[in-house]
C-alpha cells in the first residue's frame, strides 16, 4: 500500500516574499506566525511593503531576526491611517498576544498617589491608588506604597492634617491618639478653626508642589514671632514642625535643583536579561524608584527594548513633561507624539550627556546594573531550588509555574480562598488570586468544599480561555496545605475536570505539627519527609507560608469591609455619597431607620422620592 509522503509546511524568507505582491506602502501592523499558527512577533511599519521586504532577504539579519524568519510560516496584516495608530495597535496586540520575539513588560501594577481631598470642610490627606474619581489634589506617582507611607508619616508631623475617614471624623467626641502624639490638629473636636486648618492644607499643598523654601521661611517667621511674643509652647511646636520638614527633605534622597518634573528611565542589558530602573522626580523631589524586568524578545537590543518599554509603561499612566533616558529609542519623534497624545500636552524625550540631568540618569543606570546583578544571582539560586524540588518529588522537569492554595475563615465567616504563584523568578505577585467563597462550604467550615470551589473556578476558567494550554498560565505543580485526605479530595476534583496530568503535593505538619517535620503526600503514594536542613524543605515552607499570608490578608480585608457595612448599603439608590451624607447628618444607621420623611429630606441629596424609598425599606424590615 502506497503512503503519500507528508510535506513539511514552508517557512522562512521565501514564504515572506510571497506576501510582497499583496502589500503597498501603507502604514500598519504585521504579525509573523509559525506552523502551529502561534504568533511569533508583532511589528509596526510606516511602510508595510518596505518593512516586509527586509525580512524577505535571505541574509544580513541578526541571530534573533534570523531565527524568527526561519520559524515564520505565515503572516497577517492590518493597515492603519497613520504610523502613530500603528504604534498604539502594535502595543495593544503585544500585551494581548505576548509573542515570543517581542519585548514585553510584565508588570501591571498601578502607582500610588497622595490625595488631599476637597469634599469636606476639613480635608483628609491619604494614600490613593487607582482611578482619580474622588475630588481633590493628587500628588504623585510614588514608586511604592512604602514611599507614600514614609512621606505621609512625615507630612502629618509637619502639617498636622487628619488621616481618619469622614465617618470617624464625625463620630469623635474627644481627640484621638494622633493628636496626642502631635500628628493631627484635631479639627474633629474644634482644636483648630476651619481657617487655621485651611492654612495647614495650603502649606501642605505648596510643599507637595515643590515650594519647600517658602513653606520653611513662613514657619521660621512664625516661630520667631511666637518667641518674641513669649509664646514659647507655640514656638516649640513650630520648631518641631521645621525639624520634621527637614527630615522629609532628607529622606527624599535625590533632590535635583533644576529638574522640577521628570521620569528618569535607565536600562541595563546583560546576557539577554534587562533591567529598567524608573525614578520619579516631582516638585524637585525624588518620590522613589521602581525596577522592571521586561522580557527581551529573545535578544532585542537597547533601542528596541527602550521604545517598547516606554510605549507599554505609559499605556495606562500619564507621562510627565520630561522623560530622561539612558539610551535613545528607535523612533523618538513617534514615541514622543504617542505620549503627548496620551498626556494631552507636549512630552519631551531626552538622552542627556552632561550636567545634573546626566547625573540623574547615571544614578538610575547604576541602580539598574546592581538590581540586575542581584536578580541574576537570585535566579541562579531559585533555579537550583526548582531542580531540587523536581528531584525530590520525581517530577519530569523543574516546574516553571507552581500554584499554592490555602483557605482562611473564622468559624465559617468571611471565607476566602487564596492562590499564590511562584517560578524561576520567585513569587509572581501580579498573578496572585483570591476567591470569595460563594457556596455553603464557607458557612459550614467545610475545607474540602472550599478547596473544591476554588479549584473548580480556577480550572474551569483556564479550560475555557486556553483549552490547548498554549499560554504560560497553566501550572506545572500544585501545592496544597493538607495531608492525605486533602490530596485525595483535590485529585478527585481534578479528575472531574479531566485535568489529571498536573502533579500535586500535599504539605502536612506531621505528628508534632512542628515546622521542619512536614510530611509530603502525593496521590497513591506513601507519605515521606525531607531532611530538616534540606534547602528544598525551606523553599516549600516559604511557599506555604506565603500562601497562608495571602489568604489571611484577603480574609482580614473582607472581614474589615463587612464591619463597615450598614443596612444603608442594601437600599436601592443609596451610593457612597448619600450614605456618607446620611451618616453625617444622623450619626448612625439606626438613627436613619427611626427618622421621619421630613427629617430625611433635610439631608443634602435626599429627595422626597428617595426619602420614601428609605422609609419603606426600614418599614419592610420591621
Closest CA to 41 of 30, 52, 50: 30
Question: What does the DSSP assignment read for 167-222?
Answer: HHHHH-SS--HHHHTTS---GGGTSS-HHHHHHHHHHHHHHHTT-HHHHHHHHHHH
Report the predicted TM-score, pTM, of the whole model to 2 decimal places: 0.71
Q: How far apart are CA 526 and CA 572, in angstroms?
A: 56
Domains, the chain: 13-101 (3.40.1440.10), 113-251 (no CATH), 261-373 (3.30.420.340), 402-562 (3.30.420.340), 567-620 (1.10.150.20)
Q: How far apart are CA 450 and CA 429, in angstroms?
A: 22
On the question of a cis peptide bond just before residue 141, with omega within 30 degrees of 0, the verdict is yes
Q: Please give the average pLDDT of every successive group of 10 residues along the chain, which has 622 residues.
A: 56 90 93 93 95 91 92 95 93 91 81 90 91 87 85 83 88 88 90 91 83 70 78 72 64 68 94 92 85 88 94 90 95 94 93 94 94 87 92 93 85 77 90 85 71 90 87 91 87 90 87 69 88 89 91 77 67 81 79 85 87 84 65
Q: How far apart are CA 160 and CA 183, in angstroms?
A: 5
Closest CA to 618 of 582, 587, 593: 593
Q: Which pLDDT value is given to residue 1?
A: 44
Burial 222-255 (b: 16+ CB within 10 A, else e): bbeebeeeeeeeebeebeebbebbeebeeebebe
User: Taking a C-beta distance cutoff of 8 angstroms, is the pair 207, 158 a contact?
Assistant: yes
Grid cell of 87 as nine digits = 504604534
CA dihedral 310, 313, 316, 319 (to 10 degrees): -50
Using only C-alpha atoms, the chain has a radius of gyration, in whole angstroms, of 30
Q: Is residue 125 classed as helix, strand or coil in its secondary structure?
A: strand
Q: How far apart are CA 432 and CA 404, in angstroms?
A: 10
Please state, in angstroms and as integers, the Cα–Cα distance from residue 322 to each residue in 340, 352, 564, following that order: 11, 11, 43
Cite the DSSP H helix spans in 332-354: 332-343
Q: Is residue 33 classed as helix, strand or coil in its secondary structure?
A: strand
Q: Which pLDDT value is given to residue 465?
A: 87
Cite the DSSP H helix spans in 401-477: 440-443, 447-465
Q: How far apart are CA 130 and CA 445, in angstroms?
A: 34
User: Taking a C-beta distance cutoff of 8 angstroms, is the pair 52, 75 a contact?
Assistant: yes
Q: Which pLDDT value is given to residue 510?
A: 63
Grid cell of 138 as nine digits = 493628587
Amino acid at each position: 500500500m502506497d503512503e503519500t509522503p507528508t510535506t513539511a509546511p514552508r517557512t522562512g524568507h521565501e514564504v515572506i516574499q510571497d506576501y510582497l505582491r499583496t502589500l503597498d506602502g501603507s502604514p500598519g501592523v504585521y504579525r509573523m506566525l509559525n506552523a502551529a499558527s502561534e504568533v511569533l512577533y508583532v511589528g509596526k511599519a510606516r511602510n508595510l511593503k518596505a518593512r516586509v521586504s527586509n525580512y524577505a532577504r535571505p541574509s544580513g539579519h541578526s541571530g534573533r531576526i534570523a531565527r524568527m524568519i526561519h520559524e515564520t510560516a505565515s503572516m497577517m496584516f492590518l493597515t492603519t491611517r497613520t504610523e502613530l495608530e500603528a504604534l498604539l495597535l502594535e502595543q495593544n496586540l503585544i500585551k494581548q498576544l505576548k509573542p515570543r520575539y517581542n519585548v514585553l513588560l510584565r508588570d501591571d501594577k498601578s502607582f500610588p498617589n497622595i490625595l488631599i481631598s476637597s469634599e469636606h470642610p476639613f480635608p483628609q490627606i491619604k494614600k490613593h491608588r487607582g482611578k482619580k474619581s474622588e475630588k481633590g489634589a493628587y500628588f504623585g506617582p510614588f514608586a511604592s506604597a512604602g514611599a507614600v507611607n514614609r512621606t505621609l508619616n512625615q507630612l502629618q508631623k509637619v502639617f498636622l492634617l487628619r488621616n481618619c475617614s469622614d465617618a470617624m471624623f464625625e463620630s469623635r467626641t474627644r481627640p484621638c491618639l494622633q493628636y496626642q502624639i502631635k500628628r493631627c490638629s484635631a479639627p474633629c473636636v474644634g482644636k483648630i478653626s476651619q481657617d487655621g486648618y485651611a492654612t495647614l492644607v495650603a502649606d501642605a499643598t505648596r510643599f507637595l508642589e515643590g515650594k519647600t523654601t517658602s513653606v520653611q521661611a513662613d514657619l521660621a517667621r512664625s516661630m520667631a514671632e511666637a518667641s518674641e511674643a513669649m509664646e514659647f509652647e507655640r514656638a516649640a511646636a513650630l520648631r518641631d514642625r521645621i525639624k520634621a520638614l527637614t527630615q522629609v527633605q532628607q529622606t527624599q534622597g535625590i533632590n535635583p535643583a533644576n529638574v522640577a518634573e521628570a521620569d528618569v528611565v535607565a536600562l541595563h542589558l546583560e546576557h539577554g536579561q534587562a533591567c529598567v530602573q524608573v525614578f520619579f522626580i516631582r516638585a524637585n523631589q525624588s518620590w522613589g524608584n521602581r525596577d522592571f524586568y521586561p522580557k527581551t524578545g529573545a535578544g532585542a537590543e537597547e533601542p528596541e527594548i527602550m521604545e517598547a518599554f516606554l510605549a507599554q509603561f505609559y499605556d495606562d499612566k500619564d507621562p510627565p513633561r520630561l522623560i530622561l533616558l539612558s539610551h535613545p529609542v528607535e523612533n523618538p519623534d513617534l514615541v514622543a507624539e504617542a505620549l503627548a497624545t496620551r498626556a494631552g500636552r507636549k512630552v519631551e524625550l531626552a538622552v542627556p550627556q552632561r550636567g545634573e540631568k546626566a547625573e540623574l540618569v547615571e544614578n538610575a543606570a547604576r541602580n539598574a546594573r546592581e538590581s540586575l546583578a542581584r536578580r541574576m544571582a537570585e535566579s541562579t539560586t531559585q533555579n537550583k531550588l526548582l531542580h531540587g524540588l523536581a528531584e525530590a518529588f520525581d517530577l519530569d522537569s523543574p516546574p516553571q509555574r507552581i500554584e499554592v492554595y490555602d483557605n482562611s475563615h473564622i468559624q465559617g465567616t468571611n471565607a476566602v480562598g487564596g492562590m499564590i504563584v511562584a517560578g524561576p523568578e520567585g513569587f509572581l505577585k501580579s498573578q496572585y488570586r483570591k476567591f470569595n467563597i460563594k457556596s455553603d462550604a464557607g458557612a459550614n467550615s467545610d475545607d474540602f468544599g472550599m478547596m473544591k470551589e476554588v479549584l473548580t473556578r480556577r480550572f474551569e476558567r483556564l479550560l475555557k480561555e486556553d483549552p490547548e494550554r498554549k499560554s504560560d498560565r497553566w501550572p506545572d505543580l500544585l501545592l496544597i496545605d493538607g495531608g492525605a485526605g486533602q490530596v485525595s479530595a483535590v485529585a478527585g476534583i481534578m479528575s472531574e475536570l479531566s485535568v489529571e496530568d498536573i502533579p500535586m503535593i500535599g504539605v502536612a505538619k506531621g505528628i508534632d505539627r512542628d515546622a521542619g517535620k512536614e510530611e509530603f503526600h502525593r496521590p497513591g503514594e506513601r507519605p515521606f519527609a525531607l531532611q530538616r536542613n534540606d534547602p528544598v524543605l525551606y523553599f516549600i515552607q516559604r511557599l506555604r507560608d506565603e500562601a497562608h499570608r495571602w489568604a489571611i490578608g484577603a480574609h482580614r480585608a473582607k472581614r474589615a469591609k463587612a464591619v463597615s457595612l450598614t443596612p444603608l448599603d442594601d437600599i436601592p439608590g443609596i451610593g457612597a455619597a448619600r450614605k456618607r451624607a446620611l451618616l453625617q447628618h444622623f450619626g448612625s444607621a439606626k438613627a436613619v431607620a427611626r427618622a421621619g420623611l421630613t427629617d430625611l429630606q433635610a439631608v443634602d441629596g435626599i429627595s422626597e422620592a428617595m426619602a420614601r424609598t428609605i422609609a419603606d425599606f426600614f418599614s419592610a424590615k420591621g
